[in-house]
Amino acid sequence: MKIIRSVGISLVMILLSAPLIRAQDLSKYRGFSLGMSLPELSNQVDLRPLQTKLIQKRPAVIQELTCWPGGSSDYSLQADSIWQIFFSFYNGQLFRILVTYDQDATHGLTAEDMVQAISKKYGTATRTAGEISFPTNELYRTTEKVIARWEDSQYSINLVRSRFLNSFALVMFSKRLDSWLACWTCPFK
């Protein structure tokens, strides 16, 4: 009887831990990781940190770096469908990645096709009626409707379709740093 109970408890523990084993790392996109330093990322994409755009100096340094993968020799950037990657840094730490997919490469794909493709890497998406803001990127309107979202307690990945560019984009960010930044970019009331 004790053996049956032990086997039963072990089986339940294995079943309960299965989702944790399959949990995807939502902090990574190809060779990039949220939290990596500006110099580390700059070396990876063959750009100098001096090519970053300074958004603000105080109360924290916010910088942005734009990369067009088409001409890169870096494997992590040789993107079959990427038009542009936009990196945002908080005090030198990567906290947001905005990947815009090439219109021609994604022509004919539906939102559901994109969700299925991204779900292969990041797991099951949630459908949400939310919006996401792009406070400093002029290629996107102030907010875009989220098509699907993948998230955990620390990170969020959002699939959107740009109304301006008429292309899909993936927005990844650190929830902690993004919420802090939202407080500083919103007007005080």
For residue 156, what is the enclosing H or E element?
strand 155-161
Per the rule left: phi > 0, alpha: psi between -120 and 50, beta: everything else, 53 is beta
* Residues of the domain holding 68: 26-184
In a domain, 16, yes or no: no
CA atoms within 13 A on the CB side of 39: 0
- pLDDT score recorded for residue 50: 62
- Do 118 and 139 meet the contact criterion of CB atoms below 8 Å apart? no
In a domain, 74, yes or no: yes
- pLDDT score recorded for residue 37: 95
Count the Cβ atoms, other than its own, within 10 Å of residue 43.
Answer: 13
The per-residue pLDDT for range 126-162, each reduced to its tens digit, is 877 788 876 555 655 568 899 999 999 999 999 998 8
Q: Which residues of the chain have pLDDT under 50?
A: 5-22, 73, 75, 186-189
In a domain, 7, yes or no: no
Q: What is the pTM of this model?
A: 0.77
In a domain, 64, yes or no: yes
In a domain, 6, yes or no: no
In a domain, 164, yes or no: yes
In a domain, 92, yes or no: yes
Q: What angle do CA 9, 10, 16 make, to 5 degrees?
A: 90
Question: How many folded domains does the chain comprise?
Answer: 1
In a domain, 189, yes or no: no
